[in-house]
Amino acid sequence: MKPLEVIYWIRVVLAIVAGGISAFVATLFNAAEFNTFLNGVTIALAIYLLSYYALKAKFANQVEKQSKILSMGIFIYFIAWAVFFILFYSVLEGSALLG
């Protein structure tokens, strides 16, 4: 695979992980508060920024434009994060209500 394809798929996997972490943190607090959502968004942004620096160190010589490392996969990252945040949160809260 090309370096930009690898970056794209790494970001998809990291979005799933960030969604799970955000959902777990959201179950620890009151879901009705806006701060709970902001905590999830902050976790997603932090993971994205950490991935940028890690991927920049690994793929700096393999990508023509350095800005592509930052922008590649940004849309799918946040869409996947939102989908998996909702999915994991629903599973975690549903299991807490049943058990």
Give the model confidence (pLDDT) of 37-72 as tens digits. 899 999 999 999 999 999 999 998 999 998 999 999
pTM (two decimals):
0.89
pLDDT of residue 99: 60
Amino acid found at 82: A
Burial class (CB in 10 A: 0-12, 13-18, 19+), 81: buried
Contact between residue 12 and residue 81 where contact means Cβ atoms under 8 Å apart: no
C-alpha to C-alpha distance for 3 and 60, rounded to whole angstroms: 10
C-alpha to C-alpha distance for 66 and 62, rounded to whole angstroms: 9
